[in-house]
């Protein structure tokens, strides 16, 4: 009889790990290939994080994959912890902080991310609208700003199932008390719409969005037996500084939306020594030809900062 703990079983499990992960529907933990870890977004603290931790540890144990939980509550795969490895991580972390704190990495909003400086070039303006949610079977969100804006003046939306385009949007909605029904595997509205068609067929849904969209989500759904209305709850406007901003040479700038590209270039003259990080492939398409962005591994600002650190060394 073959030993179930053999290397062959572990290799097979790791080869299919991404497929296995999809079935878990994670939003607070994100699998990162480069570190072979489930990275926890520590910006949130609620019972859902514990639920996801149980799901992951059960999955890994079932497939005989070694792991340990590090000091950041992330799960490191294919490794065993020890006193010496903890000491090494502490020392590495100490010198990493010293090195990375000196880097010129910029996030173009007011979200606080470790090792990044804030340069808010956009503002979100809420648009208040009266809603009758009783007419709809579900709500669709493709932006966390839509969630925040709606929630700032209306709480009734939380009673409806939410379909979200990505974990970052789903996390915000879940943390505010929403019922997350589905989180897309895709990062763009057109692909998201195609995922939604079989899930929402013959239903009436409301797409909560900003004033600008970069997909045909509504048209696609309405053309495929899903009745989809839309409601604009915010608009993105540029912050206009009185003088052009001069960033240090070799700065790395993180762009989290097409709007951040537009608003940044209105206030800063691009230099050859600068490097750009795009949060995803949708945003990547909106860069002018003279800027070649590097795309982060996942659609989170933490992942963008990691990419920026790589580019800085």
pLDDT in tens, 170-206: 999 999 999 999 998 766 778 899 999 999 999 999 9
The mean pLDDT of the chain is: 88
> Judging by DSSP bridges, how do beta strands 117-118 and 105-107 pair with one another?
parallel
Residue 90 lies in a domain: no
Q: Among 237, 265, 291, which residue terminates a domain?
A: 237
Residue 18 lies in a domain: yes
Distance (Å) of CA 42 to CA 121, 137, 198, 261: 25, 32, 33, 27
CATH number, position 272: 3.40.50.10090
Q: In which domain, by residue range, is 56 found?
A: 7-83
Same domain, 192 and 284: no
Residue 111 lies in a domain: yes
Q: Tell me: the pLDDT tens digits for 134-179?
A: 999 999 999 999 999 999 999 999 999 999 998 889 999 999 999 9
Distance of CA 2 to the CA centre of its chain: 41
pTM of the model: 0.82
Q: Tell me: the pLDDT tens digits for 50-89?
A: 889 999 999 888 888 888 888 778 888 876 667 677 777 7
Task: Take residue 8 and report the two structure tokens written for it.
Answer: 């062959």
pLDDT for 10 equals 45
Handedness of CA 9, 11, 15, 17 (dihedral sign): positive
Q: What is the rounded CA–CA span in Å between residue 203 and residue 108? A: 38
Output the DSSP codes for 7-42. HHHHHHHHHTHHHHHHTT--SSEEEETTTTEEEE-T
DSSP-derived 3-state class of residue 88 = helix
Same domain, 233 and 130: yes
Number of structural domains in the chain: 3
Same domain, 256 and 230: no
Distance (Å) of CA 183 to CA 26, 48, 96, 178, 278: 9, 15, 34, 13, 21
Residue 92 lies in a domain: no
Same domain, 139 and 116: no
Report the range of poorest mean pLDDT among 11-25, 212-226, 253-267, 283-297: 11-25
Same domain, 247 and 115: yes
Residue 133 has pLDDT above 50, yes or no: yes
Q: Tell me: the pLDDT tens digits for 98-110?
A: 889 899 999 999 9
């Amino acid at each position: 009889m073959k030993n179930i703990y053999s290397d062959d079983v572990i290799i097979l499990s790791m080869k299919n790990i991404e497929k296995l992960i999809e079935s878990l529907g994670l939003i607070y933990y994100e699998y990162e290939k480069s570190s072979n870890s489930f990275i926890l977004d520590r910006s949130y603290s609620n019972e859902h994080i514990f639920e996801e931790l149980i799901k992951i540890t059960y999955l890994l144990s079932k497939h005989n994959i070694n792991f340990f939980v590090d000091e950041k509550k992330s799960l490191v795969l294919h490794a065993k912890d020890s006193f010496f490895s903890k000491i090494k991580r502490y020392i590495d972390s100490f010198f990493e902080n010293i090195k990375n704190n000196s880097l010129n990495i910029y996030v173009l909003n007011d979200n606080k991310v470790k090792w990044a400086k804030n340069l808010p070039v956009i503002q979100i303006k809420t648009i208040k609208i009266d809603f009758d949610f009783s007419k709809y079977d579900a709500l669709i969100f493709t932006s966390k700003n839509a969630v925040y804006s709606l929630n700032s003046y209306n709480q009734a939306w939380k009673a409806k199932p939410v379909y979200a385009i990505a974990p970052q949007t789903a996390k915000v909605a879940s943390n505010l008390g929403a019922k997350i029904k589905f989180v897309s595997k895709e990062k763009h509205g057109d692909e998201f719409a195609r995922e939604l068609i079989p899930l929402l067929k013959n239903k009436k849904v409301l797409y909560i969005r900003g004033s600008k969209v970069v997909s045909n989500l509504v048209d696609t759904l309405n053309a495929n037996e899903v009745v989809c209305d839309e409601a604009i709850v915010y608009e993105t406007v540029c912050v206009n500084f009185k003088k052009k901003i001069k960033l240090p040479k070799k700065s790395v700038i993180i762009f989290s939306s097409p709007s951040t590209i537009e608003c940044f270039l209105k206030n800063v003259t691009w230099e050859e020594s600068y490097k750009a990080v795009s949060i995803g492939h949708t945003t990547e398409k909106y860069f002018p030809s003279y800027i070649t962005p590097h795309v982060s591994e996942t659609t989170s600002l933490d992942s963008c900062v990691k990419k920026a650190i790589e580019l800085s060394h």
